[in-house]
């Protein structure tokens, strides 16, 4: 099993550009989420999904969109990149929503200039 995969590993954007971060899992997990990780601030939840066709906002959703058309895929779209979105982004999945083990992807390091 590949677990949780994320692409790209690194990305540099100019202010105002848009892009999509890809996330896929092959464990048939219902719950998927996107986090950003900034120094000294831990993991902050951007958006999450409890199943295909269902998404909701987390702690820091502004500037990001998600969709969940299949159980496997959960892409994160940056609509108009800003320097404040420079961060490391992690996709995670778990069997269900709640206190289950979170499986994380390897992360995407995004720099917005």
What are the residues binding other proteins (CB under 8 A)?
Answer: 4, 40-45, 48, 58, 90, 92, 97-99, 101-102, 104-107
Minimal distance, residue 105 CB to other proteins, in Å: 6
Judged by beta carbon, residue 16 or residue 59, the one nearer other proteins is 59
CB 70 → other proteins: shortest distance, Å? 21
Question: Which CB, 80 or 100, lies closer to other proteins?
Answer: 100
DSSP state letters, the chain: ---EEEE-SEEEE-TT--EEEEEEESS--SEEEEEEEETTTEEEEEEEEEETTEEEE-SS-TTEEE--SSSSB--EEESS--GGG-EEEEEEEESSSSSSPPEE---EEEEE-
CB of 71 or CB of 108, closer to other proteins: 108
Q: How far is the CB of 80 from other proteins (least distance, A)?
A: 27
């Amino acid at each position: 099993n590949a677990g949780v995969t994320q692409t790209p590993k690194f990305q540099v954007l100019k202010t105002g550009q848009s892009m999509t971060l890809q996330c896929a899992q092959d464990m048939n997990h219902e719950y998927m989420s996107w986090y950003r990780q900034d120094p000294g601030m831990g993991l902050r939840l951007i958006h999450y999904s409890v199943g295909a066709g269902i998404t909701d906002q987390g702690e820091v959703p502004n500037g990001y969109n998600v969709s969940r058309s299949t159980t496997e895929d959960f892409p994160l779209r940056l609509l108009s990149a800003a320097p404040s979105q420079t961060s490391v982004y992690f996709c995670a999945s778990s069997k269900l929503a709640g206190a289950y083990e979170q499986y994380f992807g390897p992360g995407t390091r995004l720099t917005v200039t």
